Amino acid sequence: MATNRSDLTNSFIMMDSNLHHPLWNPTKYYHTHTQAQTLIKSRGKKGFHLISPKHTPTLLGPVGKPTTIYLTWANHTTSNIFPVAQVQLNNHSSDHHPILTRITLSHSVPRIPEKHLLMHLNNLDPTLRLKLQQ
């Protein structure tokens, strides 16, 4: 995670953090790990923000106290294709709630106007141009 240049590529991080912090803890869950603050700062410096739902439990704790330990982070460029993560309440009898993350891959490909293509074709070496036109 330390070497990732998230501003250069679409990046996301899904993690079982086992860390508690008011940014994502369920309401009225007050325990906080100091490492969670370090995680927030380090991810922020790399351009990541939390896209998993805040204050939504992802684990039913051993004493029945729900906590949030599974987190999904995305950088700015990924936010367009990876806008949100949702906690699924149907946990199939597990004490863990899965996180559903939707990825949108339907970006339109920019079209180059035909006149620009012809202009570039005319600037090619004549021999190469003939080969391309065959």
pTM of the model: 0.62
Calculate mean pLDDT across residues 18-26.
90
What DSSP string runs through 1-47?
-TT--TTTS--EEEEE-----TTTSPTT-----HHHHHHHHHHHHTT
Which class does domain 12-107 fall in? Answer: alpha beta
| The predicted structure's pLDDT at residue 34 | 92
Name residues whose C-beta falls within 8 Å of residue 25's C-beta, 6 or more positions apart in sequence: 31, 32, 55, 67, 68
Q: State the DSSP code for 93.
A: T
Taking residue 59's Cβ as centre, other Cβ atoms within 10 Å add up to 18
Closest CA to 72 of 93, 97, 94, 90: 97
Band of pLDDT at residue 27, cut at 50, 70 and 90:
confident
Interval 77-133: pLDDT, tens = 776 666 566 666 665 556 666 666 666 666 555 566 666 566 666 676 777 767 766
| The predicted structure's pLDDT at residue 36 | 92
Q: Is the pLDDT of residue 68 over 80?
A: yes
Please give the Cα distance from 19 to 36 (Å, whole number).
6
Interval 29-52: pLDDT, tens = 888 899 999 999 988 888 888 888
